Every structure is written in structure tokens, then in C-alpha cells.
Amino acid sequence: MDAEFCENLPPEQRAETLAEALPYIRAFRGKRIVIKYGGSAMTDERLKKFFAEDIALMSFIGIRPVIVHGGGPQIGALLKKIGKESRFVSGLRVTDAETMDVVEMVLVAKVNKDVVSLINSYGGRAVGISGRDGDLIKAKKAKRIAGVDEDLGLVGDVDKINSEIITCLEAGGFVPVVAPVGAGPGEKPFNINADTAAGALSAALKAEKFLLLTDVPGVLDGENSLISSVSEDQAEELIRLGVVSGGMIPKIRCCLNALRGGVPKAHIIDGRVPHALLLETLTDEGIGTEIVRERAPGT
């Protein structure tokens, strides 16, 4: 945790904090945790530092983090700089060939390397790869959005995950950092939503947890109170009733896809909270909303 924060704690409370983490370290040692990295945690300098520290610490204690990062704001900024308008349909960026060049340039050549360098600066051993490397993410053209008469261009859905490259990197003690660009037919690049790519990767890797960083506290009920835990059925019901709407729907959908692929728990957590990853992974209370395959206790 942040050194300044720890210094303000009495010694006995510091010891309690460390002791509380012990059973979780034991439970998750050697297990994969897939993390979708985005939002404020990826743009705020202090939060970026906390994220890198968390990833380094997780790897030091034997947890195997795999990171999939976004980069929408950075892509939008470069498109604006070259005078090209960004257009979205149902939250997906319409991607022609020129836009795809920018997407790949930003995600693979800039954002990915920045994330890798940041983690390594705090003692981690991160390696950056694209979904096209080793055919990690095989993509297919995304389906048209129902009721929308517009081709999304080079927007892709995940067709297949070839996880061998992840396994090889982990065997060498490295933390994989994945840019969500997929390899389509004829090795054509496809722009894949980072949440979708992370959920599919967590299922293919049989991860112990899937953590999705957002800029909200988690899933909220009709009175804007945090829902700490829901089952798959309950999550679907929240969507059906309109309690969950807008941008939270695709986030829940990718969590549900991860669960149906065999991941025991998915978590939507607030990346604006310092050390959000450690708080969710190594403490009793955790943060955000967990979505579980079985019905949540007491409901």
C-alpha cells in the first residue's frame, strides 16, 4: 500500500492488515487473475502508480495477473489531431481502415508500452503483446447492431483464444499485458472492445477471477446504492428491469460470459479507489460488485 498511508497507521493495525491478507495470498498463489485496465486508473498519474504497485506486488506473492488494457481516449485524441471524426454506434467505435491504423498505433505502439514500462518501473516483469501476436486473439467481423443500418467496419468479436503465448510468458515469470487488437481472416487487424476481449481471455485461461476496473463504485440498485454481490440470474434480472442500463450493460454481459466460460467470480470495481486491486483481492470486505455463478448467499 501507499507508504504515506501505512505510516499513519498504528503498528498493530499495520500487522492486522498484513495478517488479513495471508489467507488470500495462500488461496490465490499460483492462480490467474485477469484484469481489464481502463478508466481513470489508466489516466490519473497517482492511480497509475497504485495500479503498477498492485500488479508488481501480486506477482511477487505468486499471483499470476494477466492485463488487458483499453485506450479509447488516447485513440480519440490522435484521431482528432489528424482531423478525423470519431463515430460510435452503441458504444462501439466505427473503424474504417484509416481508423484501424490509428487504433493499432495507439494501443500497440503507445499505450501497451507505457503500461509495461510503468509496471516494470515498480519491480514487475511485464511484457506487452498484441492480440495478433501468436494469434492470441482470433477475430471475426462483429455482427451488425440490431436496428442500426450501418457497417461498423473493422470492429471484431472474439472468435477464438490461443492461450499458448500467455502460458509461455507466465512460465518465464512475466506478466502479460495485452492490447485488444485481434487477427481476422487473412491476418487483417480488428478492433475489439477491451472489456469483451478481457472477459473472453479470462474464460479461455480458466482464471480464478476476472476484475474489471471502471469509474463507478460498481453495480448500483434503483436507489443508487452499491450492490455488493449478485448471481448470474440476478444480474440478468437487473438488466431486464432497467435497473442496470447504458454502459454498465456490456460490462455485466462480458462478466457473465466469463462466468459461463468457467470463471468462478467476476468483479466490477472502482478503479478510482487507491490500490483497488489489492483491496478486492486481499481483504475480507473487498470493493465493488462481485458476480458469481451460484446465487449470492442470503438472497
Q: Among 156, 195, 218, 270, which one carries the catalytic annotation?
A: 195
Beta strands in 184-288 (DSSP E): 189-191, 209-214, 229-231, 265-270
pLDDT digits (tens, 9 = 90+) for 212-227: 999 999 999 988 899 9
pLDDT at 299 over 50: no
Answer yes or no: 195 catalytic.
yes
**Residue carrying C-alpha cell 505510516:** 7
Answer yes or no: 123 catalytic.
no
pLDDT digits (tens, 9 = 90+) for 97-134: 999 999 999 999 999 999 999 999 999 999 999 999 99
Sheet holding 181-183, edge to edge: 156-161, 137-141, 181-183, 189-191
Tell me what pLDDT residue 247 has: 83
Q: Position 140: which residue type?
A: K
Tell whether residue 125 is among the known ligand binding residues: no
Selected residue with higher pLDDT from 11 and 30: 30
Mean pLDDT (the chain) is 91
Tell me what pLDDT residue 78 has: 97
Work out the average pLDDT over 80-84: 95
Per-residue pLDDT band for 9 (boundaries 50, 70, 90) equals low
The grid coordinates of residue 220 equal 448500483
Per-residue pLDDT band for 59 (boundaries 50, 70, 90) equals very high
Tell me what pLDDT residue 12 has: 67
Q: Position 291: which residue type?
A: I
Selected residue with higher pLDDT from 173 and 6: 173
Tell me what pLDDT residue 186 has: 87
Q: What are phi and psi of 232, to 5 degrees?
A: -55, -50
pLDDT digits (tens, 9 = 90+) for 84-104: 999 988 888 999 999 999 999
Work out the average pLDDT over 181-206: 95
Axis-axis angle for helices 97-104, 72-81 (nearest 10): 120
Q: Among 36, 48, 138, 209, which one carries the catalytic annotation?
A: 36
Answer yes or no: 72 catalytic.
yes
Tell me what pLDDT residue 17 has: 74
- Percent of the chain clearing pLDDT 90 (strictly above): 80
Going from the C-alpha of 20 to that of each of 16, 54, 228, 279, 288, the distances in angstroms are 6, 16, 20, 11, 19
For strands 126-130 and 64-69, give the pairing: unpaired
Per-residue pLDDT band for 295 (boundaries 50, 70, 90) equals low
Going from the C-alpha of 78 to that of each of 82, 120, 211, the distances in angstroms are 6, 26, 28
Tell whether residue 191 is among the known ligand binding residues: yes
Q: What are phi and psi of 279, to 5 degrees?
A: -65, -40
Q: Among 39, 131, 182, 288, which one carries the catalytic annotation?
A: 39
Per-residue pLDDT band for 14 (boundaries 50, 70, 90) equals low
Tell whether residue 298 is among the known ligand binding residues: no
| 159-186 core/surface letters (b: 16 or more CB in 10 A; e: else) | bebebebbeebbeeebbbbbbbbbbbee
**Residue carrying C-alpha cell 468483479:** 267
Work out the average pLDDT over 67-87: 95
Tell whether residue 72 is among the known ligand binding residues: yes
Consecutive H or E run containing 126: strand 126-130
Phi-psi region of 100 (alpha: psi -120 to 50; beta: other; left: phi over 0): alpha
pLDDT at 282 over 90: yes
Answer yes or no: 62 catalytic.
no
Q: What is the pTM of this model?
A: 0.91
Q: Among 72, 131, 156, 218, which one carries the catalytic annotation?
A: 72
Q: Among 48, 138, 251, 265, which one carries the catalytic annotation?
A: 251
Q: What are phi and psi of 79, to 5 degrees?
A: -60, -40
Work out the average pLDDT over 126-149: 88
Fold of 29-292: Carbamate kinase (3.40.1160)
Residue 283 and residue 64: Cα distance in Å, rounded? 18
Work out the average pLDDT over 180-198: 94
Answer yes or no: 141 catalytic.
no
